[in-house]
Structure 1
Amino acid sequence: MMQQIELFGKFWRLFLRGSHLRGILMRGIHLRGSLTPLRSSLLLTALLPGMALASCSTNAPKAGTATPDSVFVEIEAPQEPQAAPALLLGAERKDLYLPLLRGKRIGLIVNHTSLVPQPGGEALHLVDLLLKEGLQVKKVFAPEHGFRGTADAGEKILSGTDAQTGLPVVSLYGNNKKPSPEQLQDVDVLVFDIQDVGARFYTYISTMHYTMEAAAEQGKQMVVLDRPNPNGHIIDGPVLDPRFRSFVGMHPIPVVHGLTVGELAQMINGEGWLAGEKKASLTVVPLQGYTHSTPYVLPVRPSPNLPNQQSIYLYPSLCLFEGTPISLGRGTPFPFQVIGYPIRNLASSALPLPQCPVPPTHLLRTANAGGWTCATSRPPSVSILGL
């Protein structure tokens, strides 16, 4: 029996000496972390029988010695799962976009949401960050609600000069919604950095569309600094019928589209949705550490009537009532969390409403019901629709 074991051990050593596997593993070459646990197990399963038999032979080397036939396999212990990388906004990834802007004349499409978190301190507005970096910011293009985000929905935005920075502010929510060739004469690159909420009719993405279109027509570079979509975990609602295309619905996408502004910009460019199917010279600075299931709470309200996450989550569905006599709580502390109707008790109306947790007895005067006092239900933590 011992002779058989010895013969088998010699055979195994001869096999390894001539095999391609030996050329990889022999002569003191160590494998460090290059094998998965499964491959490591399979490799050891293949090698251990021969190693054990060889060690049983009378010619087996003493412990601690090395021979030309030695097999050294070093497998590191499985590492603990690494934590997901921290979420970084596109605007935080300065190493990716500052080189694109140096030496260029810059036009910014920004508002009050264009904040860049700073290590150990308060967030810095993108305008201030770029000026601090010594870059040539020539002007600001303002979307709906204005550069400082204080104007109400639908309120006309006027062009002028920003009191804090002294920069010219060009309105893109007034007589014109698209930068003119004259307004882009002293601009080489346009930078878009505005927080969206993931609803097709939220007009910030329409402003992005028109600035991309102007950039394509005038041969300007376009940079989009990506931001998370707080409704990015869901896609829902009908796709836009092109017959009803307008500034509050420009793209054939669902009502709740699930895209970040950077992803949508790439889709607009790639699908030929710009006028004349032109292509913008587009660069998207992507998010780091973001998935569409990543919860994201906005640090500031994106517009005056979206003050918190509850309103942001309910906005895509309740906003469908806009344009009707129904009030959605604009001008109250809880917009898009309640509904009301002039001189009507919603609990007794023909609307197919579910049971209300509390009676609709709160009387409110709201912004879009023609000055009527609305009977509105305000449950403690959910809307009247129970959403």
Structure 2
Amino acid sequence: MSGFDKSAEPVKRALAGLDRLISDELMFHRLAAGKVGLLTNHAATTVDRIPASLAITRRLDALNGTPPRLFTPEHGMRLADGAGDAVADGRDPLTGLPVHSLYMGFEDRVDVVLEGLDAVIIDLRDVGVRCYTYAATAANFAAAALARHIEVIVCDRANPLGPSLAGPRPVLERRSILAYFDVPFVHGRTIGELISLATAPVSSQAPFAIYPADIALRAPLGWIPPSPALSHPDAVVAYAGLVLLEATNIRECRGTSVSFRAVAAPGLDAEALAGAINEWPTGFAAASRDIFFVRSPDAGQTLRGITLWPRRGPHHDALALGVHLLAWLIANHPDFAWLPAGDAGFAIDNLFGRDDLRVQLDAGASAAEILRGWRTADYTSTGSPSTTTSTS
């Protein structure tokens, strides 16, 4: 019998691209000789949980370099701003440095924002769903920098949903920050891969590098939300489906302790909905319960709803869950309504990057029919459909 104790073996920790950049001595000596921009927020940290803004600032300071010019996407550096809310310029409490918002209005001041920079570093966490705005902000920022001959360095991070694909690509006329990339709704790419894809036309204008992240190792214990409403890992798993409810009058339960892990609405038949979810082959289970809201527009109210969670096992198809939810609500909840878009039309068409999901549901198509159509169509080529995976 061996006396070797396997429990004494050091645990290999999953490294992000930021950890690999921090350890690159040659790169940092070069960066310290110039002026650097950094697009990030406090959810992007080293393996030791040091936010990128502080880790990069310390590294440059140790080499007598100039502090970085900080930039941030939706929700702000401290992740304190709500979804879709304007993010004002501010100051990073960890470094004391000014922070420039890139969420809304960046195109109007791009030359001022990038003036004098020699390189920009990008480190943000994505959640594997096309409408999540961080990657679009990062890609737009990177493209603008490269077009002005500014070096771009991306610190990659693992896609929490892995390589799974689900749903169709957007149509060109719906392109926006919510449908920025020509990829399936659940896209299966890392943020570095998305940025590389979007910046291909200008990638030769300046150096472009991606520091890779570990994708196969178990992440450290604990959870740092990538954005305010994704306060639990299960919320990321369910996000691709429940985000569709943001374009309706049904609550995905922002402003509660179960944000993106619950569904609620006045008059909802929660028991019937929970029973339906438990029958759908999407990998999720549900139970009915009362849900208390602490933020507007339902602050102080308790609504009947359901909480849901991923079943044990490797397969969870949140987009299929979302399509089933919409079909069930249209058929069984008399007060269901699509929310209007700010300009014209419907918000769901902008969020999903095309209008045929809404059109088919309004025409009475079942979730199974819609999902089957996505599987048999061809959505991998630009402008035409290709096969993606989803569960009916």
TM-score relative to the length of structure 1:
0.67
CA separation of 1:178 and 1:354: change in aligned 2, threshold 3 A = farther
Structure 1 position 211, deviation (Å)? 0.6
Alignment partner, residue 92 of structure 1:
19
Distance 1:373 1:177 in 2: 42
Indicate conservation of the 8 Å contact 2:234/2:310, yes or no: no
Return the match for 1:378 from 307, 310, 319.
Answer: 307
Q: Does 1:285 align with 2:241?
A: no
Structure 1 position 363, deviation (Å)? 4.4
Alignment partner, residue 102 of structure 2:
172
Alignment partner, residue 327 of structure 1:
251
One-letter amino acid matched to 2:17:
G
Indicate conservation of the 8 Å contact 2:41/2:53, yes or no: no
Structure 1 position 101, deviation (Å)? 1.4
Distance 1:296 1:280 in 2: 33
Structure 1 position 176, deviation (Å)? 2.9
Greater helix fraction, Structure 1 or Structure 2 = 2
Indicate conservation of the 8 Å contact 1:325/1:369, yes or no: no
Alignment partner, residue 141 of structure 1:
71
Alignment partner, residue 116 of structure 1:
46
Q: Does 1:365 align with 2:293?
A: yes
DSSP-derived class of the 1:284 partner? strand
Indicate conservation of the 8 Å contact 1:196/1:204, yes or no: yes
Structure 1 position 153, deviation (Å)? 1.1
Structure 1 position 189, deviation (Å)? 0.8
Residue identity over aligned pairs, in percent, reads 26
Distance 2:163 2:147 in 1: 34
Alignment partner, residue 12 of structure 1:
none
Structure 1 position 325, deviation (Å)? 0.3
Structure 1 position 303, deviation (Å)? 0.6
Structure 1 position 280, deviation (Å)? 5.5
DSSP-derived class of the 2:262 partner? coil
Structure 1 position 315, deviation (Å)? 0.4
Q: Give aligned pairs, total.
A: 295
Structure 1 position 132, deviation (Å)? 2.2
Structure 1 position 250, deviation (Å)? 0.3
CA separation of 1:187 and 1:90: change in aligned 2, threshold 3 A = same
CA separation of 1:381 and 1:366: change in aligned 2, threshold 3 A = farther
Return 5+ residue gaps in structure 2 as ranges. Answer: 1-8, 326-390
Q: Does 1:264 align with 2:205?
A: no
Return the match for 1:129 from 55, 72, 85.
Answer: 55
Distance 1:346 1:281 in 2: 54
* The structure with more radius of gyration: 1
Alignment partner, residue 365 of structure 2:
none
One-letter amino acid matched to 1:335:
S
Return 5+ residue gaps in structure 1 as ranges. Answer: 1-81
Distance 1:235 1:296 in 2: 22
One-letter amino acid matched to 1:303:
S
Distance 1:253 1:209 in 2: 14
One-letter amino acid matched to 1:92:
D
Distance 2:249 2:93 in 1: 38
Distance 1:193 1:358 in 2: 35
Return the match for 1:102 from 22, 32, 40.
Answer: 32
Return the match for 1:308 from 232, 245, 248.
Answer: 232
DSSP-derived class of the 2:235 partner? helix
CA separation of 1:305 and 1:177: change in aligned 2, threshold 3 A = farther
Return the match for 1:231 from 144, 161, 175.
Answer: 161
Map 1:11-160 → 2, pairs under 5 A: 86-93=13-20, 94-96=22-24, 97-118=27-48, 123-133=49-59, 134=61, 135-160=65-90
- Please provide the CA RMSD for this pair: 3.5
CA separation of 1:363 and 1:312: change in aligned 2, threshold 3 A = closer
Structure 1 position 107, deviation (Å)? 0.8
Greater length-normalized contact order (CA 8 Å, ≥ 6 residues apart): 2
